[in-house]
Amino acid sequence: MTPSDDWEQGMERFAIDNDTVERLLNGVLDPEDAPHRFGEVVALLQAAALPSSGAMDGEAAAVGAEAVIVPDLPDDEAVQLREAADAAGLALILLVAPTTTAARLEAACRRATGFVYCVGVTGTTGARAHISQEALDLLMRVKAVTSLPRALGFGLSRHEHIRALRGRAEAAVVGAALIDRIGAAPRRPVEAAESFLVEMLGTAR
């Protein structure tokens, strides 16, 4: 399978998944109340590889994507991808981690648009009991070199995590914990998702 095939299949899959998520969120979020309770919902496309910098032009936006994330993007390829993302009207979200060197962190923050995705853990993904000091230090390092919003992800699973991030980050990315909660209630995914979001934010209905 070629990178081009991967991209085309990814576009098809994203269109399906994005529609599913949209319908799920429409069931979870009251349109009038949602901005106050859960904030703005943004559709992000994550890709492992792109066939060419021009392959994004129009395709990702056409299926509802507003930004693209390419983990482990080599530094020398980020410039071309930034140009392609700009041309397609997409934000380019770059990842930094506690192990990212100062030079690479500055380069990533300079080339990113939208926000900077701060990886809060080293090693495997999954829920953690506490936000590590190295994650908080990373947020401060990013703040020192860019005015872009910072989103901390990986390992967030409880309201205490969100509370600890207030004043330290502008966004929180929650994946594994939400998927686990929905997976535990396959017949009531909407209720499970809403309950989890309310618990995470400490929001009373």
Higher-confidence residue of 36 and 76: namely: 76
Per-residue pLDDT band at 50 (split at 50, 70, 90): low
In the chain, the percentage of residues whose pLDDT exceeds 70 is 63
Q: What is the pTM of this model?
A: 0.74
Higher-confidence residue of 58 and 104: namely: 104
pLDDT digits (tens, 9 = 90+) for 51-75: 454 555 566 667 677 888 877 777 6
pLDDT digits (tens, 9 = 90+) for 112-139: 999 999 998 876 555 566 888 999 999 9
Contacts of 168 (CB under 8 A, 6+ apart): 136, 139, 140, 152
Sequence-ordered strand ranges (E) for 51-173: 67-69, 91-96, 116-119, 150-153, 171-173
List, in order of start, the domains of the chain with CATH numbers: 1-92 (no CATH), 97-205 (3.20.20.70)
Which class for 20: exposed (0-12), middle (13-18), buried (19 or more C-beta within 10 A)? Answer: exposed
